[in-house]
Amino acid sequence: MATIIRISVLAVLTASGLPHTFAQDAPADFVHKVVPVLREHCGDCHTGEKKKGGFSMNTHADWLHGSENGPVFDPKNPSHSKVLEVIASTDPDTVMPPVAKNKPRPSLEQIAILKNWIQSGAPWEPGYAFKKPAYQAPIAHRRPAIPATAQKNAHPLDLLLDAYFQKNGSKSPAQCDDATFARRVHLDLIGLLPEPEFTHQFVESKAADKRDKLIGELLDRKTQYTEHWLTFWNDQLRNDYGGTGFITGGRKQISAWLYAALHANMPYDEMVRQLVNPNSDTEGFAQGITWRGTVSASQTREIQYAQSISQSFLGLNLKCASCHDSFIDKWKLTDAYGLAAVFAEKPIEIARCEKLTGKMATASFPFPEVGQIDASKPRAEQLSQLADLMTHRENGWLARTIANRFWAALIGRGLVHPVDAMGTEPWSEEILDYLGGHLAENNYDLKSTLRLIATSRAYQMQSVIREKGDDTAKYVFLGPRARRLSAETFLDLLWQITGTAPSNQDAPVRRGEASKELLSATHLTALPIRLAPEPASDQPNPEKATNSEKLAKKGRKPMKPGTALVGFAKNITLPAKAQKISGILFDHGKGRVLINGVLLKAPVANRFNLVTELHLTQSFKPRDNTIMVLQPAPPEGVQSDPFLLELECTLEDGSKLRIASDETWKASGSFSEEQIKPGKLSATNPEFDNAEWLPVKAEMGAFASLQTPEKPLEAFVRSIQPAPPARAALLKSDLLMRTLGRPNRDQIVTSRPQELSTLEALDLSAGKRLSELLAHGAQTLAKRPWKDPRALTNWLFQYGLCRAPSEAEMEASQELMGTDTPSRQSIEDLLWAVLALPEFQLIR
């Protein structure tokens, strides 16, 4: 039967003329005649994602391009086109369309239509495509044209959004009321609730610019802003304070650097540069996690680096492309290994699906339009080049990626969704382009982008509630989505309302800012001191013993090269037990402190740049103590680095005294790393008593010209002033936080679930940890002098929901608490009832 069909087809195509019913004096109607034939008999192999033989018919350009064997259509001589040859073939291996089981061959009429179309020059309907070309995200920045308006000082995002509404035939939603806005913007920018009195004053204010002023004022609250957005960045940069890798030393935090960067509002491009080309403060991100046991080839540190920088900064998910060419986008295995090769300390072989290919990776950047890595350069130079390319002025992906994530954080859904697929077409290219360009033009000031979004009408509209399945339907912007509180913010609000925030923190960060009042009332008593070198001499002194000889006389082994230490010591007598001892060691970043022979480590001693902040209340004992500062010994003839130490001691009777470096200290170069390895170097040890102690030298202006983020006085004040209450973002995750959606951060997380799971619902209704927090909070609130239960109810609603309770809610509260003084249990029940409301748990 197949032979008969092939003979019939050949007869039709080679006949000098066509049967009357098939003959056409003009080319066939492409859309209505030709396309149905091509779609039915050729579409399975040559349209959509399929390019059998390298041939696609998706577009006219694809048709003209041809296959892996060359063009299939010859526009100069259509009758000799390859496509006619394969259609007319009688060979079952080459005939097109192929002879397939259970699939009919083209009819004689359909073949005649194709022949007539091809011999007529294969005219293609302008703009027609079997499948439209995939969206190609631009590389460089594009600044969209802002629609003209007569409105003075019109917000650019609002003008672009108006054009979007007009294009989609919809109207701009109404704005939210002032109380809703006050609650929303507080939660979004600093993660805390406005005080009830503030909300009242804000609502009553008639100032036209009160919303813009509030946004600016909240962004200026450096500490609250930093500690709220720390959660966002910890997720994005896979940073945490405990978990996989920390026990074995296979993971390192970047907490101190990240906190300081956010507090100082470091330009985003500089943040990226320091993370891509890491230093000792930022290498924890670049190095990723050293997993215990055997891992896949896609989880080596080099590949983790490629995955991390592409996902965090470019919105590209290279996880699939770390094993094989991606099935879902254009990224290939060589793209992932190209980035990995930059970070690798030695050549790496490409592995495809866990099998080595024999091909070595070559350092490369996935956007060659911006520039390329010189793979012949040393690793350090390649990393520097990569940092330059990531932050290049023509790399618009960098700014658009973070701008899109900020939009998603404040609006509830990204302009590009999901936010890790920045090659996907945004629902508004114009808004995304404007946000990215604005960030770049404002020197990558992240707060400027947050301010731009928050001051727009898009942000200040009434919120919409997500509906089931709306993520699968075509997205149309109708206003900001109601969003769940993060696990950290939920706890912060509970602690804020009840005044029960913990005082401890797990994050090794320096919080807050030096109090201006305390700065003006405080002075340092310490002097910078160092061990002055002995005068250099060209003449050897045979009577002068070397350190090794001195140690040998004392029966001790010589020090290994690079292990010698200089110790500065002073005996301290405390007349009574201390309530608090805090202060700083300010040096060149190399000093360590021992109290009574014990080497101090985190959390009592944390280093931040040139400052080691010390909290030593439990380290000192009443009466006699010895404090010691250890530094690496300088080379012969070179002075040791200066340091300044100042501690403030508050004794039980409230009196204060200072422990400070000065010329009464003594120094010795007789110590080594081996002595402090056990963790103790007691003042009663022979090594301490028999040391050769020398006087120290004070230098008044030792740090006067030092360019540092803060001066010693500011650092000292920060260490002694009361610490603000802790935020959940500074604490290790607990069961409640994990239940409410805090990730373990073994992987980068760019969005958290918005749906409430059954486990979360159970924990919010009967969880042990939440019950303990509610009981503690209720106990604290019960101590306040409430006028009556109605006053407590009204205050709680005004604080938690920024509105007064309804009559029904007030009645329910009265029934719960009665008319007498509220009991702890009734307050706990009321507190739970308010916190369990969706209205409380959503940012609306």
Contact partners, residue 171, CB within 8 Å, separation at least 6: 165
pLDDT in tens, 374-424: 999 999 999 999 999 999 999 999 999 999 999 999 999 999 999 999 999
Closest CA to 548 of 532, 563, 538: 563
Res 730: pLDDT: 97
Q: What is the pLDDT of residue 380?
A: 97
If one compares 439 and 324, the residue with the highest pLDDT of the two is 439
Residue bearing tokens 């239940």: 739
Residue 14 has pLDDT above 70, yes or no: no
Strands 694-695 and 666-672: what pairing? antiparallel
d(CA 283, CA 647): 32
Write out the E strands in 587-689: 592-595, 598-599, 605-608, 611-615, 623-632, 644-651, 656-660, 666-672
Q: CA-to-CA distance for 253 and 266, rounded, in angstroms?
A: 19
Phi, psi of 347 (to 5 degrees): -55, 140
The percent of residues above 70 in pLDDT, for the chain, comes to: 89
* Average pLDDT of the residues in 462-484: 82
Query: Distances in Å between the alpha carbon of 526 and those of 80, 177, 569, 807, 818?
Result: 94, 55, 14, 63, 60
Mean pLDDT of the chain: 87
- Average pLDDT in the 463-488 region? 84
Nearest residue to 661 via CA among 699, 623, 691: 699
Quick one: 148 exposed, middle or buried, by C-beta within 10 A (0-12, 13-18, 19+)?
exposed
Residue by residue, DSSP assigns 249-266 as T-----HHHHHHHHHTT-
Query: How confident is the model at residue 10, as a pLDDT?
Result: 37
Record the pTM. Answer: 0.80
In the predicted structure, residue 11 carries a pLDDT above the cut 60 = no
Would you place residue 480 in the very low, low, confident or very high pLDDT band (cuts 50, 70, 90)? very high
For residue 549, pLDDT over 70 is answered with no
The answer to whether residue 356 scores a pLDDT higher than 60 is yes
Distance CA 41, CA 163 (A): 43
> What distance in Å separates the CA atoms of residue 503 and residue 725, rounded to the nearest whole number?
5
More confident residue, 755 or 314: 314
Q: Is 704 exposed, middle or buried (0-12, 13-18, 19+ CB in 10 A)?
A: exposed
The confidence score (pLDDT) of residue 820 equals 78
Under 8 Å between Cβ of 312 and 237: yes
Backbone torsions φ then ψ of 521, nearest 5 degrees: -100, 5
Q: Which domains does the chain have, with CATH numbers?
A: 518-720 (2.60.120), 756-843 (no CATH)
- For 640, counting Cβ atoms within 10 Å of its Cβ (0-12 exposed, 13-18 middle, 19+ buried), the class is buried
SS3 string, 112-125, reads HHHHHHHHCCCCCC
Strands (E), 440-485: 483-484
Q: How far apart are CA 786 and CA 176, in angstroms?
A: 32
- What are the angstrom distances between the C-alpha of 413 and each of 221, 418, 427, 487? 26, 8, 11, 19
Q: Pick 555 or 420 by higher pLDDT.
A: 420
Q: For residue 142, what are the CA distances in angstroms to 387, 711, 802?
A: 22, 43, 41
Mean pLDDT of all residues in 680-697: 71
Which stretch of DSSP H or E encloses residue 694? Answer: strand 694-695
Contact 130, 47 (CB under 8 A): yes
d(CA 285, CA 343): 12
Instruction: Please name the residue ranges forming H helices in 442-570.
Output: 446-454, 457-460, 487-498, 516-521, 547-553
| pLDDT given for residue 105 in this prediction | 79
Give residue 704's Cα distance to chain centre: 36
**Residue 790 pLDDT > 80, yes or no?**
yes
